[in-house]
Amino acid sequence: MDLQLTGKTAVVTGASRGIGLAIAEYLTSEGMRVLGTARTVTPQLAALGGPAFSVDLSRPDGGKRLVSHALEELGGIDVLINNVGGGVEGVDLAEGFLSLDDATWQRSLDINLLSAVRVTRAALPSIIERRGAIVNISSIGARASYHPVDYGVAKAGLTNLSKALSEEFGPRGVRVNTVTPGPTLTQNWKDPEGYAGDLAKAAGLGYDEFMARLPATMGISTGRLAEPAEVAALVAFLASPLAGSITGADYRVDGGVLKAV
């Protein structure tokens, strides 16, 4: 299927690995000029051959710096993918709401919500001019009780932001949608010493046993975690002219984890 994206430009945040890298790869394969950004430009991101930019988007000046660089490199922005996000380093998975201080909350909001606010604010003039599209990458944590709570709350704000932007800027030709992944087979789940390993230890299980049980434990109807490329394919479609009448929507790629209508 030709997504009619050849020659258009895109900025993908959090593009060094995982879902962000898969999105950057997919858009590049569709003929887009993609600027990928992350705090650290990985060899995998550099290997895509497009411009890459190292920036910490949790900092107040990060969004302006990124967009200024993107406009110089690309000449304009047709598509913005706000993918950067994640848990706050140093937060113990066993800790609950009462253990999260103001600094932790602020860090989580900066990473998972305000980064998108700042990048979008800086990029919108160009996106409006080109009647482009924005896709925000949220999480199933935005739709259900989630631990750690700061992450879920921040992602819920991002999902709400998408809807608000779609209403305000739709009449000016800009489409804004949300993609909400569930458990996805990124390094977080592949690494026995990382996030999945910590969850396994908390459950009193070895890593392999924990991962074998995970689909059933989480109620994943498909029986497996999603692949980053599956999320990327949906993002590319929503960014394309073929989705010209889709805006203000939230699409889940969660294997059926969330059971409510």
Q: Could you give the residue numbers annotated as active site?
A: 151
Quote the tokens at residue 71. 């406009």
Quote the tokens at residue 141. 């944590």
Q: HSE (CB half, 13 Å, CA atoms) of 190? A: 9
**Burial class for 68, CB neighbours closer than 10 Å (0-12, 13-18, 19+):** exposed
State the DSSP H helix or E strand holding residue 261, giving kind and residue range, or none if neither: none
Quote the tokens at residue 68. 């200024």
Would you give the distance in Å from CA 121 to the centre of its chain?
17
Quote the tokens at residue 254. 């969660």
What is the identity of the amino acid at 121? R
